[in-house]
A and B are shown apart, each in its own frame.
Chain A
Amino acid sequence: QKEVEQNSGPLSVPEGAIASLNCTYSDRVSQSFFWYRQYSGKSPELIMSIYSNGDKEDGRFTAQLNKASQYVSLLIRDSQPSDSATYLCAVKERTEYGNKLVFGAGTILRVKS
């Protein structure tokens, strides 16, 4: 069973600070990694995808991937109260027919104004 592990939090940061969210995964051959944001009672919303080692930036978000350490992270710069949500790390399991995603349990982020 492939596993994706995240610290459940909550992670509390003041408005304007950098929030750092971490994730580890068990399947060494995984190639595709995703960060989703989920507000309470809502569906997951894709924020970032990353496939290669290193950093990928999109606006205030930076995803970091280290396949050797089986580690993915998400940095949120200039955190806003609207960023308060649960952040889900997801790893694509290698199957022949589809995009089966294995999700972590999520990290609750609270941004305090």
Chain B
Amino acid sequence: EPEVTQTPSHQVTQMGQEVILRCVPISNHLYFYWYRQILGQKVEFLVSFYNNEISEKSEIFDDQFSVERPDGSNFTLKIRSTKLEDSAMYFCASNPGLGEKLFFGSGTQLSVL
């Protein structure tokens, strides 16, 4: 089965630093998402992306966050100035169309020190 690929699997950074989390969605998928899960807590929606623009974002997704699809395959999440509370597992997801199964990547564990 095709997979959503995320890199790196683990990222450690200092507070205030910028991080970029990378994702390669499944090639024929049109809708892309970032979710995050703080340890022991719920999986939370951050942002959805369609047709090269953000279609929806949560209140978590403030000005410190941005997403980009720089080429035809990669989908990135940038956190401009990381905070301790940004430490979480970040999941990229994609699906081919509305109502279709959501495929999750294996996640990037971000630790902000």
Contact = CB atoms under 8 A, between A and B. Distances in A.
Nearest to A32: B99
B104 A102 contact: no
Interface residues on A, range: 20 to 34
Interface residues of B, number: 25
Contact of B42 (A49, A95, A97, A106): A106
A47 B64 CA distance: 34
Nearest to B94: A99
A43 B102 contact: no
B105 A98 contact: no
Contacts of B102: 46, 99, 101
Nearest to A4: B42
Contacts of B89: 41
Interface stretch (B12-20, B44-52, B68-76): B44-52
Contact of A42 (B31, B44, B106): B106
Contact of A44 (B41, B56, B91, B100): B91
A15 B42 CA distance: 27
Interface in A35-69: 41-46, 49
Interface of B: 31, 33, 35, 41-45, 48, 50, 55-56, 89, 91, 95, 98-102, 104-107, 109
